Chains A and B, each alone.
Chain A
Amino acid sequence: RKEVEQDPGPFNVPEGATVAFNCTYSNSASQSFFWYRQDCRKEPKLLMSVYSSGNEDGRFTAQLNRASQYISLLIRDSKLSDSATYLCVVTRGGYKYIFGTGTRLKVLA
C-alpha cells in the first residue's frame, strides 16, 4: 500500500464546475501537508499548504483531517487553465517529502 494514496482520475469537468480531490496518508507521524500542481511534462509547483483549520486561496480550499488521515482540495468555478495533475504531498522528519501519484483534472470548454 502506498503511503500517500490518490484517485488517479481523470476527472473531466465542464468550465465553472466545482470539483473535489481527496488524498489519504498512512503514516500518522506525517508532519506537514501540501498540494502541488504539475502541468504536462513540467516540474511540480506548490499550490498550497494544508492545515487542520482549513485554508483558502481564491477558488481553492484545502482541508486536513488528522484523525482520519485525510486531505482534500476543492476547486470552485473551474477554469480551462486548472487542467493539470494535482499532487498530494506529506512530509516526515522535516526532510522527506512523500508524493502521491497525482489526480489528473481536465476542464472542458
Chain B
Amino acid sequence: GAGVSQSPSNKVTEKGKDVELRCDPISGHTALYWYRQSLGQGLEFLIYFQGNSAPDKSGLPSDRFSAERTGGSVSTLTIQRTQQEDSAVYLCASSLAGGTQYFGPGTRLLVL
C-alpha cells in the first residue's frame, strides 16, 4: 500500500479484556516496529521484527504483551488482561532493513 496502516484507529475496552492491534506495513518493508506513546510522553519502543522474527523484544512491558508477524507482512500486537495503564496510542512503523522508519496513524487504546 501507499503507507503504513493500522486498525482499529480507536479501541475502548474494559479492564481485564484482551485486545488485538493490527499493523499493515509498506509493501516490501522487511522491518517492522511497535511503539507506545502515552499522553504527553515520548515514544516507548516495544518490539522490532526483521522478517517474521523478533530479534529485539526488550521493550515489551510485561508478559501480557505479545506480538507476531506472519508472511513478513502484517503484524498483530496483543495485550492480554488489559489494565488502565495500558491506555495509550500504539504506533507501528516499517522500514527497509536499517532504513528510515515510516509510521502509521496509530491505534488509540482506552482501557476503562
A, B assembled together:
no
Q: Which residues of A contact B (CB under 8 A)?
A: none
